[in-house]
Amino acid sequence: MDDVAFKLSLKLRIDWSEMDTYQHVNNVNFMKYMQSARVQFWEVTGLAQLYSETKKGPMLVSTQCDFKHPLFFPGDVIIKTRVAFLKNSSFGLQHRLYNDTGKLCAEGHDVAVCFDFNTDKTFGITDQLRQIMMQY
């Protein structure tokens, strides 16, 4: 897939503390980078605000990361994110993580469900929210 379809981009500085004994970024940090991108998506779509106002919002149910190339300090990681799918109450995000030179270092996938924390049940994605999410 062409990266043009990835409309969200987040650049994060790699910290020395994220290195492991092999002198590259520890794999667990890739998941943290994807979490930052996921939270960015929640913020730009209004999902974070929806939760703060109603206690209804996204809940991560699955995440996966395929490692392609190591990341190193010093440097940056660029995470590109797009909506992979929208269903009735769930949605998926696809992430691509790049180093400073533009080399693909990892691909990740998240599945989240819209969850009402007041009733402990899922809720359907509204038409308005669906339209906003489809922009990404």
- Is this structure's pTM higher than 0.85? yes
Please answer whether residues 7 and 96 qualify as being in contact, where contact means their C-beta atoms are separated by less than 8 angstroms.
Answer: no
Looking from the CA of 104 toward its CB, the CA atoms found within 13 Å total 13
Q: What is the pLDDT of residues 43-68, one digit of tens each?
A: 999 999 999 999 999 999 999 999 99
3-state class (DSSP) for residue 26: coil
pLDDT of residue 2: 61
- Distance, in Å, from the CA atom of 111 to the CA atom of 124, rounded to the nearest integer, reads 15
Interacting residues of 5 by C-beta distance below 8 A, sequence separation 6+? 82
pLDDT of residue 54: 97
Rounded to an integer, the average pLDDT of 114-125 is 98
Q: Is the peptide bond before 70 cis (omega within 30 degrees of 0)?
A: no
pLDDT of residue 1: 47
Indicate if the pLDDT at residue 96 is higher than 90: yes
